[in-house]
A = this chain, B = another copy of it.
Amino acid sequence: MATLPVRELSPLPHGHPCYGCEARKVAVCGVLPPLELAELKDCGSNLQLQEGQPLFHEGDPASQVYNVTQGTLRLYKLLPDGRRQIMGFMMPGDFLGASIGGEHAFTAEALEPTRLCRFGRARFADFGEEHPALERELYRLAGHELAAAQAQMVLLGRKSAVERVASFFMSLLDREERFDGKPHKIIDLPMSRSEIADYLGLTKETVSRVFAELKNRRLIRLAALTRVEVLDRHGLADVAEGYSEA
């Protein structure tokens, strides 16, 4: 991958401390009242990545934390022979900062044009100490990530291919609904079949076949290659949880 230089935007545009964060109920920024949010802006700067561009690699020193405002990142680990496990996808509103011993535990790459706001880890930490609400929020987020990781372990360790894909759709649906509160039917997939496969512990061929099966079972419809319409939400949820595999 020809590592393009990361494009630096202006050190945070006027009106908006964490440019774009307020559009969704964004992690971290979301818990701060406007005044303190404005204060936080001095710690951060804006950042843009092109498709395929890495934000950091596994093992890099972790001196920054990030808030995704637009686009999508893939987080992954590689085995020496190239097998890839995608740990998750970061989308607008997600906070990216967890690390142990100051090193990133995975690689983060944009899979489409992506914007983030970046904070120096140290300054961010200082800021956190003065704002317990922020620290509490970070701890809460860590808890959520852990819960998500555990759900993913069940998926990878014990679910069949159909169950994995159904669970994947359900979690994307749930994610959307957590933002605006109202039910959704359409899922837009910013990631390729390969990426879905590497996230679900399958191959791209199996993912493709399972899409076809779910289509035949009238649980979904493919409005386009990257656009899934959920036709039977409850049916899909049942498959995801492992019922109905009679």
Contact = CB atoms under 8 A, between A and B. Distances in A.
Give the contact-size bracket for chain A: 35 or more
A194 B154 CA distance: 16
Contact of A146 (B79, B84, B146, B151): B146
Nearest to A160: B83
Contacts of A144: 100
Interface in A151-208: 151-154, 156-159, 198, 200-201
A146 B147 contact: no
Most buried by B among A77, A142, A143, A154: A154
A216 to B, nearest CB: 23
Contacts of A79: 154, 158-159, 241-242
A93 to B, nearest CB: 18
A241 B80 contact: yes
B154 A85 contact: yes
B85 A153 contact: yes
Contact of A80 (B80, B200, B242): B242
A85 B139 CA distance: 25
A156 B201 contact: yes
Interface string A130-152: 00000000011011111101111
A105 B158 contact: no
A210 interface: no
A87 interface: yes
Contact of A150 (B106, B157, B159): B106
A81 interface: yes
Interface of A: 77, 79-81, 83-85, 87, 98-100, 105-106, 139-140, 142-147, 149-154, 156-159, 198, 200-201, 241-243, 245
5 contacts: A79-B154, A81-B243, A84-B158, A85-B157, A149-B153
Given A79-B241, A99-B143, A100-B143, 15 more contacts: A77-B151, A79-B159, A80-B243, A81-B243, A81-B245, A85-B154, A87-B153, A105-B146, A105-B147, A139-B139, A149-B150, A152-B153, A156-B157, A156-B201, A157-B198
